[in-house]
Structure 1
C-alpha cells in the first residue's frame, strides 16, 4: 500500500502541537519521533519513509520548535514537554508506542518513560542529550531583562543555520540548499526567540543518574563516532547508567545521524525491535 501522510494541529496541555502522521497500513504499530534542539520534524525526512514501511509514524514538533506553538504561558521544561507528548497520545487514543528521540528529543523520551513506564515498548536514543545541567543563575536572571530575546536571536545568528549544520554533520558534502532552507524555516518568525528565552530560564537540566537507573524500558543507543555536540563518551556513560540498554556506534557519522546515515539507523532500529 502507498504511504499516507497527514499534517495535524492539536491543542494539548495548553499549547498548539503540530504533528505529522504517516502510515501505510491502519493496523501498524505506532512509532513516535521527537527531534532535537533548534530542529523540527524536518530532521527525520530521510528516516520517515523507511520507518513508515513497518509502522504508523507520528513525528512531533516539540514546542516551541517547528510549527508548534510559542506560548508565553507554556512551561518549557523537559518534564512538561514529555507530559505534552503523552497528552497527545491520549488525544489520539494511543496506549503503547515505540519511540525515538534525537539529541534533546532523547531527554523527552526518557522523561516519558519515567512518567508512564508501560507506554513505550522499546526506545531508541539517537545521540541523546545527557548530563547537561540547567543554565547558570546569572544567565537565568539575565533572561528576565527586557529584550533579552534579541540577544538570543543575535547569539544564534552569529553561527547561523549553515554554521550549525557544519557542526552537527561529519560529511559537510551532505549540506545543500534544501537542507539549509528546511532547518532555517522555523526561525523566520521572531516569536520563537521569546519562547527560547523562556526555555533557557525554565529548562531543568538533563536527568541525573539516579533517575536514569529507574528506567526499565529496553533502550537502543545509536551514536556517531564523530559526534562533536554530544561526544561518544557521553553515549558510553548513558549506556552504563540505563539498566536495559545497548550502544551501537556508527563510524563516520556526526551528531545528525537521521540525516547522515538513515539506512543504517533504520536497520539498527528494525533489528532491535524485532529481537
Structure 2
C-alpha cells in the first residue's frame, strides 16, 4: 500500500520552505535534513523504509530543492536551525528524532545546541564537522555585482556527474534518474544569487567546546571511503559528543543515503529501540 504524503510550502523565519510530511499517527517522528547541493530527493530510498515505523517530515533547507531561493534569507547554520525548529513547532512534533546528512548533520547539531531539550536522539549521517568559516576575502567577493555568475560557473565546472562520482563509492549507482534529480534545483538562476548570499552568511561548523555541551544521544553513521568528510572526522566527532556511538559502513562513500538506505534504516531502528 502506498504511503500517503502531504507536500507543500510554509513561510517560516523569513523563508518559504518546502516539506514532505508522511503522517503516521501515534508513531515517533523523524525529521530528515539533507546536505549541501542536495534536497529531500537524497532520501527517496530511505523514506519508504522509515514510513512503515515512523512519522516522517523531510525538509528542503533553503535555498535548495523546492524551497525559496531568496537573497533576503539569512543562510547561517543558526538561522537554518531556527527555521527547522519552527517547522517542527508548526507540525506540533514532540521529541523528534533529528536525522541529518552532511550539511544537514551540522544543522542538527546547531538545533541541539540552540534547544537542548528539543530531542533526546539524533542520527548524523557523515555530518559536516569542523569546517571553518570562509575567508573574509571570499565573503567580501559575494558583495561584488554579478558574483552569482561566478558561483554558477564554479558549479557548472564541477558538474552533477563529477560531484556524484566524488560522493559515491559505487559509481554504478549513477543513472539518469539520479543525475536529473540532483540537477533539477539548479535549473533556476535564482539559486546562484542565494548561494552567493550563503557564502557570507555561513559561520562555520560548531567548535569542540560547544559540541562537548550537547547531551542528546547521537548515532553517527559514516562511510569508510568518505572523501568529503573523511572517517577521522567522524571519529573526532564521536569523541566530542559525550553520548554518541559511531558505525562505519564498508565500501561506502559520502552519499550514504544513496548507497546504504537499508543499512541506515536497520541501524536507526536498533538505535531507537534502546
**Which residue does 1:16 correspond to in 2?**
16
CA distance in 2, matches of 1:166, 1:245: 30
**Which residue does 2:126 correspond to in 1?**
127
Measure how far apart 1:114 and its partner are: 1.0
CA distance in 2, matches of 1:238, 1:111: 14
- Give 3-state SS (helix, strand or coil) of 1:4's partner: coil
C-alpha distance after superposition, 1:83-125 (max 9, x if no partner) = 0000111112223200100000000000111111111121000
CA distance in 1, matches of 2:228, 2:63: 21
Unaligned runs of 5+ in 1: none
**Which residue does 2:217 correspond to in 1?**
218
Write out the 4+ residue segments of structure 1 that deviate beyond 3 Å after TM superposition. Answer: none
Measure how far apart 1:2 and its partner are: 4.6
CA distance in 2, matches of 1:218, 1:247: 11
CA distance in 2, matches of 1:190, 1:87: 28
The two structures have a TM-score, normalised by structure 2, of 0.98
CA distance in 1, matches of 2:270, 2:90: 30
Unaligned runs of 5+ in 2: none
CA distance in 2, matches of 1:92, 1:200: 30
**Which residue does 2:74 correspond to in 1?**
75
Write the mapping of 1:179-218 to structure 2, written as runs, cut at 5 A.
179-218=178-217
**Which residue does 1:100 correspond to in 2?**
99
CA distance in 2, matches of 1:219, 1:200: 29
CA distance in 2, matches of 1:2, 1:202: 40
C-alpha distance after superposition, 1:116-137 (max 9, x if no partner) = 1111121000000000001001
Measure how far apart 1:263 and its partner are: 0.5
CA distance in 2, matches of 1:125, 1:79: 17
C-alpha distance after superposition, 1:5-26 (max 9, x if no partner) = 1211101011101000113x32
CA distance in 2, matches of 1:218, 1:3: 29
**Which residue does 1:117 correspond to in 2?**
116
Measure how far apart 1:72 and its partner are: 1.9
CA distance in 1, matches of 2:2, 2:185: 29
- Give 3-state SS (helix, strand or coil) of 2:120's partner: strand
CA distance in 2, matches of 1:49, 1:203: 32
CA distance in 2, matches of 1:70, 1:181: 19
CA distance in 2, matches of 1:175, 1:250: 19
1:35 aligns with 2:34: yes
What is the number of residues matched between the two proteins? 274
Write the mapping of 1:131-142 to structure 2, written as runs, cut at 5 A.
131-142=130-141
